[in-house]
């Protein structure tokens, strides 16, 4: 994938850090000299609505939009949202999914029903799916907001550049907030990488 364009679709619920994670991924790709395009769609994101980010990078990228069936990686911060967007994955693509179930307003309003087993449905559809409990991992460090850094750790070893490049961008993002928070993010990132490696084995 180093010379081709890489397509990553990130989806989740408002407040999970979907956009921040996508920005950090974009910064890492830029640091490696890639042309980068990204776009976000947020629906009531402050109220827990659905959020999706399209990220494309490579030698020369014309459009930020990822067409259905062309994403290399689907990074799902919430299980049902990952299921909803799985059609954007290309054949042989990889879904990395946080197993947390967060019910969005459209379900609470009765407009949609929450699927019984979103991750199981993805497996049955033949999608190469790895799932993680990012919330529990983040909680083990005492801050659920670290969940997006855990998810960045999960995707780190699937990218066409080193995990250290991505970690450097995370550290840069949080450096002004103090060494304690930087260290917590380092640990959350490492824990995400470990969880992904264990899921692969």
Residue 3: pLDDT band with limits 50, 70, 90:
low
Domain CATH code at residue 50: 3.40.920.10
Q: What is the residue range of 169's domain?
A: 6-110+123-200
| Separation CA 89–CA 171 (nearest Å) | 30
State pLDDT tens for residues 43-63. 554 455 778 999 999 999 999
Q: How far apart are CA 160 and CA 156, in angstroms?
A: 9
Q: Give the pLDDT band of residue 34 (cuts 50, 70, 90).
A: very high
Determine what percent of the chain is predicted with pLDDT higher than 90.
74
Residue 115 lies in a domain: no
The predicted-structure confidence for 84-131, as pLDDT tens digits, reads as follows 999 999 999 999 999 988 776 666 666 677 788 999 999 999 999 999
**Domain membership flag for residue 25:** yes
Number of compact structural domains in the chain: 1
What pLDDT, in 10s, does the model give residues 143-158? 989 999 999 999 999 9
Question: Is 117 part of a structural domain of the chain?
Answer: no
Residue 1 has pLDDT above 60, yes or no: no
- The Cα-based distances of 37 to 27, 55, 89, 94, 95 in angstroms read 11, 6, 18, 20, 21
Q: 43 lies in a domain? A: yes
What tokens appear for 44 in the block?
A: 């009531």
DSSP helix/strand/coil, 150: helix
The residues, any chain, with a CB within 8 Å of residue 6's CB and separated by 6 or more, are: 29, 56, 57, 58, 72, 73, 159, 160
Does residue 118 lie in a domain region? no
Domain-located, residue 33 = yes
Examine residue 1 and state whether it is found in any structural domain, yes or no.
Answer: no
pLDDT at 15: 83
12 within some domain: yes
Question: What confidence tens digit (pLDDT) does each residue in 72-91 have?
Answer: 999 999 999 999 999 999 99
pTM over 0.85? The answer is yes
Report pLDDT for 51.
87
pLDDT at 181 over 70: yes
Residue 8: pLDDT above 90?
Answer: yes
Residue 105: per-residue pLDDT = 61
Distance CA 1, CA 7 (A): 10
């Amino acid at each position: 994938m180093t010379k081709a364009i890489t397509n990553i679709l990130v989806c989740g619920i408002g407040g999970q850090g979907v956009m921040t994670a996508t920005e950090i991924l974009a910064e890492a790709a830029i640091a490696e000299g890639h042309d980068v395009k990204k776009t976000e769609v947020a629906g009531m994101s402050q109220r827990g609505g659905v959020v999706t980010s399209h990220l494309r990078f490579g030698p020369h990228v014309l459009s930020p939009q990822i067409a259905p069936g062309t994403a290399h990686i689907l990074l799902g911060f919430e299980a049902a949202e990952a299921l909803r967007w799985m059609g954007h994955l290309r054949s042989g693509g990889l879904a990395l999914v946080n197993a947390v179930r967060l019910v969005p307003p459209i379900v609470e309003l009765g407009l949609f029903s929450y699927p019984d087993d979103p991750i199981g449905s993805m497996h049955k559809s033949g999608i190469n799916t790895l799932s993680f409990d990012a919330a529990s991992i983040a909680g083990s460090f005492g801050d659920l907001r670290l969940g997006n850094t855990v998810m960045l750790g999960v995707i780190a070893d699937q990218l066409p550049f080193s995990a250290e490049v991505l970690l450097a961008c995370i550290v840069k993002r949080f450096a002004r907030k103090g060494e304690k928070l930087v260290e917590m993010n380092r640990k959350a990132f490492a824990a995400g990488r470990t969880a992904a490696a264990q899921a692969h084995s």
